[in-house]
């Protein structure tokens, strides 16, 4: 059965983006190679993200980076059309349960905060892989917005990639 994995980077003060959704600060941090991304991506069978995250990905890359696997963008306006992406307003718990039956590999929850918060409310995230960047933004979009369900995690691994610290946690059973 595939796992749902939150694989994301955050600033030291817990922000996943600036208040304007920009990620420029992240690319200024010295990493090591691809910081383990290629190995992680080999385990992914589907991608789920929010619409603002999708829009930012389009600004960062000339070619859509996840075109080789199914992509789902959570949005209140699912009427958009784009190559390689399915826009959906399907409740996240229904979408994830459907994907778990359809894909063999893990399901990557990319972000953003609202999608993560909803997934946590439904206890859908099995593993948290969080790259911590040594940057304090002071403001931005928090990884865990106020009101996020309290969730107990167990540290399974830590890995240093240049100035990034990759922390891997598994959700404790409830």
Band (pLDDT 50/70/90 cuts) for residue 42 is very high
- Per the CB < 8 A criterion, the answer to whether 141 and 98 are in contact is no
Residue of 106, 104, 99, 126 whose CA lies nearest to 43: 106
Q: Which residue has the tokens 């929850």?
A: 109
Greater confidence (83 vs 132) lies with: 132
Domain range summary for the chain, segments of one domain joined by +: 4-164
Let me know the angle formed at the C-alpha of 90 by 53 and 131, rounded to the nearest 5 degrees.
30
Tokens at 60, concatenated = 């960062």
Predicted pLDDT at 1: 87
3-state class of 45 per DSSP? strand
Predicted pLDDT at 60: 86
- Summarize the confidence of residues 128-133 as an average pLDDT: 97
What is the CATH number assigned to the segment(s) 4-164? 3.40.430.10
Predicted pLDDT at 61: 84
Tokens at 23, concatenated = 């990620």
Predicted pLDDT at 113: 87
**CA–CA dist 7, 130 (Å, integer):** 6
**CA–CA dist 99, 97 (Å, integer):** 6
Band (pLDDT 50/70/90 cuts) for residue 162 is very high
Band (pLDDT 50/70/90 cuts) for residue 67 is very high
Band (pLDDT 50/70/90 cuts) for residue 165 is very high
Mean pLDDT (the chain, rounded): 94
On the question of pLDDT at 87 being above 80, the answer is yes
Q: Which residue has the tokens 């390689």?
A: 84
Quote the DSSP letter at residue 133: E
Band (pLDDT 50/70/90 cuts) for residue 100 is very high
């Amino acid at each position: 059965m595939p796992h749902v994995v939150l694989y994301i980077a955050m600033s030291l003060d817990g922000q996943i983006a600036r208040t304007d959704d920009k990620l420029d600060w992240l690319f200024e941090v010295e990493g090591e190679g691809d910081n383990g991304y290629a190995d992680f991506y080999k385990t992914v069978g589907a991608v789920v993200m929010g619409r603002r995250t999708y829009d930012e990905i389009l600004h960062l890359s000339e070619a859509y980076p996840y075109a080789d696997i199914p992509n789902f963008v959570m949005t209140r306006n699912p009427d958009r059309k784009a190559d390689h992406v399915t826009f959906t307003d399907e409740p996240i718990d229904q979408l994830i349960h459907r994907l778990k039956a359809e894909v063999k590999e893990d399901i990557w929850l990319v972000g953003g905060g609202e999608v993560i918060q909803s997934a946590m409310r439904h206890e859908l995230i099995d593993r948290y892989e969080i790259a911590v960047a040594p940057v304090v933004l002071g403001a931005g979009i928090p990884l865990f917005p106020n009101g996020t369900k309290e969730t107990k995690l167990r540290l399974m691994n830590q890995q240093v990639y240049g100035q990034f610290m990759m922390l891997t946690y598994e959700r404790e059973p409830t």
